[in-house]
Amino acid sequence: MRILVDENIPLADEFFGELGEITRLPGRDIDAAAVRDQDLLVVRSITRVDAALLDGSRVRFVGTCTIGTDHVDLDYLHEAGIGFANAPGCNADSVVDYVLSSLLLLAEEDGFHLAGKTIGIVGVGNVGSRLAERLDDLDVECLLCDPPRAEAEGREDFLSLDALLERAEIVCLHTPLVTEGEHATRHLLDASRIEALAPGTVLINAGRGACVDNQALRVRLQRASDLRVVLDVWENEPGIDAALYDLVDIATPHIAGHSIDGKMRGTELVYQAAMRQFGLPARKKLGQLKPDPWLRKIVLTPWAPPLEALSLCTRACYDVRRDMLAFDRYRRRMGMATGFDAYRAEYPLRREFSTLRVELKQNKGGLRDALEGFGFKVKLSSK
Ligand SMILES: NC(=O)c1ccc[n+]([C@@H]2O[C@H](COP(=O)([O-])OP(=O)(O)OC[C@H]3O[C@@H](n4cnc5c(N)ncnc54)[C@H](O)[C@@H]3O)[C@@H](O)[C@H]2O)c1
Ligand SMILES: O=C(O)[C@H](O)[C@H](O)COP(=O)(O)O
C-alpha cells in the first residue's frame, strides 16, 4: 500500500509504517499528481480534499488529523466511495489551554479576575463543553449557545446567540465553518452583531476564521479600540488581513490546537479508522508511543500567593505570548502568508496542561479549584 502523509503529522511512521511505503509532503504541496498512485491519504486542514485532488487517483481512504472538516468535500468522497475519517475532539484540550492562557494574560494586563465574569460559549461541542467544564471550577458564570444541540436535545438552558451576546463579558467562539442551512456559521458575528458588542467585551475566535466577519471587525476596531480581541483563526488564511492583525490584542496563526498531545491523538484516531476501513486490527496504541512530559511536576510551598501560583503554572506549561511574539517575528521576516505557514510548520513542542502535576502544601484562596479548573493534575500533600 502507498501512503501519502502531510509532513506535519507526528508518529506517522509509527502508526502507518506497517501498512506500506510512506511519502511525506508539505500540506500545500499535496496535489493531484502527488496523490495519483497513493492508496491512503492523511492530511491536515490546509489540503483541500475534493474531486480536483482525487479524481483518477487510487486513493481509497482519506483521513484528516483535525477536528474541522471544512477543507473536505464530504459529498464527493461519499459519491466516489472513498472512505473518510476526521479526528473528533483530538485537540480540544489544547484549544481550551489556549483560551485559558489568553484569558489569564488579558486579566493580568487589565487587572481583572476571571472569577465573577460572565463568559459566553458559542458552539458547545468537544471544545466548548470542555471549556465550560474547566470554567466550572473557577466561579465564572457560563452562558451556552448551540442551536443544533438545543434543538436535538431540547436544552432549555441554552441561549440564542443574541441573548448570549447581550450578557456575556467574554465571548468564545468554538463553532465549525458551515456555509449553508439553518445553522450556517459563516459570518455568525456579522457587522451588526460586532457593532452591538458592548465596550470592554473580550472576543475570542478559536473556531474558524470566517465565523467572524473580519472586515467588519477591522472597521469596528478602527473606529474604536474598545474591545479586547483574540484571534487564532482568520478569514483567508494564510494571507490574512494585515490591518486587522495590527488591531487585535492576541494574534496567533491557527495554532490553538497544536499541542503535540492533540496532534498525536489525531494520528491515532485516523489510524484506527483506516484500519477499520481496510479490515485490519489496530494494534498500535498512543500510550506506547507518547513521549514523557518535559515538565512533570511543580511543587508550590505554603508561601505561594494563589494568583501568582496559577499564573506561574500556566506559563510554565503554555504561555500564549510565545506564539504571539514568534508569529510577529516570522511575519516581519517572511511576510504575512509565508510567515503564517512557516511558524505552523516549525511549531515548537507544546504539552497540554493535563500533563503537568502540581503539588500543593496548602490549599489557600481556592488555589486547588483554580488549578484543577485550568486542567492541571493537583495533589495536596503536607510532606
Ligand atoms: N483553532 C484551532 O486550532 C482549532 C482546533 C480544533 C478545532 N477548531 C475548530 O473548532 C470547531 C469546534 O471544534 P469542536 O471539537 O468543539 O467541534 P464539535 O463538532 O465537537 O462541536 C461544534 C459545535 O458547534 C455547534 N454549532 C454548529 N452550528 C452552530 C451555530 N450556528 N451556532 C452555535 N453552535 C453551532 C455544533 O452543534 C457542535 O455542538 C471545529 O469545527 C474546528 O473548526 C479549531
Ligand atoms: O480543526 C482542527 O483540528 C484544527 O483547526 C487544527 O488544529 C488545524 O491544524 P492544521 O491542520 O491546520 O495544522
> What local confidence, expressed as pLDDT, does residue 101 receive?
97
Fold of 91-251: Rossmann fold (3.40.50)
The ipTM, to two decimals, is 0.99
Q: Do domains 2-86+260-288 and 91-251 have the same CATH topology?
A: yes
Q: Which atom of ligand 2 is nearest to the CA of 68?
A: 1
How many C-beta neighbours within 10 Å does residue 296 have? Answer: 9
132: CB partners within 8 A, 6+ apart: 121, 124, 142, 144
Cell of 27: 500540506
What dotted CATH number matches 2-86+260-288?
A: 3.40.50.720
3-state secondary structure at position 179:
coil
Cell of 268: 491515532
Catalytic residue among 187, 208, 265, 331: 208
Instruction: Go through the chain and tell me how many residues it has.
Output: 383
- The dihedrals phi and psi of 224, each to the nearest 5 degrees, come to -150, 125
Q: Which residue has the cell 493531484?
A: 32
C-alpha distances (whole Å) from 218 to each of 244, 254, 327 are: 5, 18, 19
> What local confidence, expressed as pLDDT, does residue 209 receive?
98
> At how many degrees (to 10) do helices 126-136 and 367-374 cross?
170
d(CA 204, CA 207): 9
> What local confidence, expressed as pLDDT, does residue 190 receive?
98
d(CA 89, CA 100): 17
Q: Which residues of the chain have pLDDT under 50?
A: none
- Catalytic residue status for 208: yes
What is the pTM for the complete model shown?
Answer: 0.97
Q: Name the residue ranges covered by the structural domains of the chain.
A: 2-86+260-288, 91-251, 297-380
Residues flagged as binding site = 45, 66, 146, 175, 232, 257
> What local confidence, expressed as pLDDT, does residue 291 receive?
81
> What local confidence, expressed as pLDDT, does residue 138 receive?
85
> What local confidence, expressed as pLDDT, does residue 139 receive?
85
Per-residue model confidence as pLDDT tens digits over 192-250: 999 999 999 999 999 999 999 999 999 999 999 999 999 999 999 999 999 999 999 99
Ligand 1 pocket test, pick from 160, 175, 177, 204 with the greatest ligand atom count within 8 Å of Cβ, gives: 175
Residue 262 C-alpha to ligand 2 middle, in angstroms? 10
Per-residue model confidence as pLDDT tens digits over 330-367: 999 999 999 999 999 999 999 999 999 999 998 888 89
> What local confidence, expressed as pLDDT, does residue 256 receive?
98
- The dihedrals phi and psi of 264, each to the nearest 5 degrees, come to -65, -40
User: What is the pairing mode between strands 61-64 and 228-231?
Assistant: unpaired
What dotted CATH number matches 297-380?
A: 3.30.1370.170
Q: Whose CA is nearest to atom 9 of ligand 2?
A: 45
104: CB partners within 8 A, 6+ apart: 114, 310, 311, 314
DSSP result, 220-288: HHHH---SEEEESS-TTTTS--HHHHHH-SEE-SS-TT--HHHHHHHHHHHHHHHHHHTT------HHH
| Ligand in nearest proximity to the CA of 88 | 1
Residues flagged as binding site for NAD(+) = 146, 175, 232, 257
